[in-house]
Amino acid sequence: MGIIGTLGFAILLFFTCWILAAGRSRAHVFVNNQSGMTVSNVVISGSCKKRHADILATRSEWKTVTPYDRDGQLHFSFDCAGVSYSTNTELGSGFLGVFYRISSNMVVTIQKKG
């Protein structure tokens, strides 16, 4: 394979990956801990690529981006003081911003934009 063949293969590979990546939707996930306690084992999963944070201190925020399958569910879970908490939210298609706020009584408020 000569230089022209290698260059052609590289261009073909680039555009193939670009087209495949363009078909996936991405969720921008923001988790805000307003609970007054440190939470641990924060997990975003479900119809998306799993994302994980070991610890989220009080009054802090965790931001992540994850590709997801359209029309699925986003599962959010965390642990605090030996108790596990979890919730689900429906996903749409295209760009999506999901905001989770953990309040002082461990109630999770969910807001979606996009």
Domains in the chain: ranges and CATH: 25-113 (2.60.40.2890)
pLDDT at position 88: 92
Q: What is the pLDDT of residues 13-29, one digit of tens each?
A: 776 666 555 556 788 89
Indicate the pTM of the whole model: 0.75
Q: What is the pLDDT of residues 26-76, one digit of tens each?
A: 888 999 999 999 999 999 999 888 999 999 999 999 999 988 877 788 899
Report the percentage of the chain scoring pLDDT > 70. Answer: 87
pLDDT at position 21: 58
pLDDT at position 34: 95
Taking residues 79-94, report their average pLDDT: 87
The DSSP code for 57 is -
Torsion, Cα 17 92 98 72, to 10 degrees, reads: -80
Q: Is-contact 2 69, C-beta < 8 A?
A: no
